[in-house]
Structure formats: structure tokens, C-alpha cells
Amino acid sequence: MKVLAINGSHRKGSTLILLEEALKELSEFETEVISLCDYKLEYCKVCNACKKNGGICIVNDGYQEIEKKMKEADAIIVGSPVYFGSITGMLKTLFDRSRTLRVNWELKDKVCAAITVGATQHGGQEHTLQAIHAWALIHGMILVADSDPTAHFGGAAVAKQVDGEFKIDEWGLQTARSVGKRVREVLKAIKG
Ligand SMILES: Cc1cc2nc3c(=O)[nH]c(=O)nc-3n(C[C@H](O)[C@H](O)[C@H](O)COP(=O)(O)O)c2cc1C
């Protein structure tokens, strides 16, 4: 079974660290983490070609590679820093482009979980998680959150950059680990 983690940050920083922390709990599966900042992603142009041609996007860029990875995954953990109380523009662009995968419900029944990080406590982490949840639900994915001992809506952390290093709060790191554990539990329960 494959678990794909998507780092929606515009850089490789604290979101990436949290996703890697979650993936440590999933070492019995094939895991991969990708960072959207490594890809060129155009906006959805609303040409509706994908709706008419069976789900093929006619904008040729980095999306096709990400789309293939999402199709092949059994579970997807989506990470985003909080940007003005919600997900990053880059992640929203990926979500919009993923309309191609809804034409034939290709993400349906995959497990999905969300992780976020902000610079401040109460900086919009819950709303950011819910923006990711909306995407997963609209695709018919099986949405999971974190589990014991943190158990709320997913991974939610606070990070500061000190002397070039990312300092993430311990409870936040624990929520990311709990996400990994919960994804493992649910993958085993539903896929055997
Ligand atoms: C454009 C922008 C908007 C941000 N808005 C918020 C915010 O609303 N709330 C918050 O807590 N942090 C906010 N931050 C801080 C980031 O969420 C924080 O630095 C996070 O750790 C960055 O994750 P990264 O290291 O994975 O890039 C913002 C940062 C940027 C660049």
C-alpha cells in the first residue's frame, strides 16, 4: 500500500518536517513526500475540457505527475501552513486542478488526513484543516484526523524559525505522529 504526503508550503520547512514525522508511523507501507514548490502548477482555466474528455487536463505542466501519484496512492496526507487563516495558494491551485480526478471519482475511498502549522497559536489552524477536509469530502475520500493522545481534527502545530532552524511545538509534532498512526489504523481496517 502507498501513502503519499503532499507539502503545500511554498518552501521546504515546518510543514515538510511534520509530514515526515507522520510518515515515520507508516514505515510498513511505501511512503513518499512531495513538495508543491518543486512543481510548476498553472491555475485551473475553467475550460471544462476535463469534464468532456473523461478527466484529462489539457494544461500540461507539473500537475500530471502529481495526479499520477495521487491516483496510485491508497492514502494521502495533505499538509499546508496557515496562510491568512487558510491553505496556501499553491495547495488551492492543486485542489482546483484535481477536478480531473472527480470526473471518474478516482480519489473516492482513498484515506485522507490533514496537517497544518502556523506561526501563532490560534492562527487559523482549524480552519486550514477544514479547508483540506472539504477537498477530501468533495472527492468522496475517507477522511480521518488524529488519534490518541491528541485526537482532534488532524495535525496542528506552531512553528518558529530560529537561526534558520524550524522549531515546532512538541504537542504539534505529537498531533502529526497521531495522524500517521490513525492513517495506519484505518488503512489496515479497510484494506486488510
Ligand atoms: C503569506 C503568509 C501568511 C501567513 N498567515 C498566517 C496566519 O494567518 N496564521 C499563522 O499562524 N501563521 C501565518 N503565517 C506563518 C506560517 O504559517 C508559518 O511560518 C508556517 O510555519 C510556515 O510553514 P512552512 O515552514 O512549512 O513554510 C503566514 C505566512 C505567510 C508566508
What's the distance, Cα to Cα, between the start and end of the chain in Å? Answer: 10
Q: Is 192's pLDDT higher than 80? A: no
Rounded distance between C-alpha atoms, residue 148 and residue 192, angstroms: 22
Confidence (pLDDT) at 191: 80
Cα of 94 vs centre of ligand 1, distance in Å, is 18
Task: State if residue 79 touches ligand 1 by the CB under 6 angstroms criterion.
Answer: no
Q: Could you tell me if the CB of 180 is within 6 A of ligand 1?
A: no
Q: pLDDT value at position 176?
A: 98
Q: What is the DSSP pairing of strand 111-118 with strand 155-162?
A: parallel
pLDDT at position 58 is 96
**Could you tell me which residues come within 8 angstroms of residue 170 by beta carbon, excluding any fewer than 6 positions away?**
none
- 13 CA closest ligand 1 atom index: 25
Q: What's the chain's average pLDDT?
A: 97
Residue 64 pLDDT > 90? yes
Domain coordinates of the chain in residue numbers? 2-191
Assign domain 2-191 to its CATH architecture: 3-Layer(aba) Sandwich (3.40)
Contact 36, 44 (CB under 8 A): no
- Residues 68-102 pLDDT 10s: 999 999 999 999 999 999 999 999 999 999 999 99
Q: For atom 4 of ligand 1, which residue has the closest CA?
A: 83
| pLDDT reported for residue 85 | 98
Q: Establish whether residue 73 lines the binding site of ligand 1, counting it when its CB lies within 6 angstroms of any ligand atom.
A: no
15 touches ligand 1 (CB under 6 Å): yes
161 CB burial (10 A radius; 0-12, 13-18, 19+):
exposed
Whether 9 lines ligand 1, by a CB cut-off of 6 Å, is yes
User: Rounded CA gap, 185 and 9, in Å?
Assistant: 27
pLDDT digits (tens, 9 = 90+) for 122-165: 999 999 999 999 999 999 999 999 999 999 999 999 999 999 99
Atom of ligand 1 nearest to the CA of 18: 26
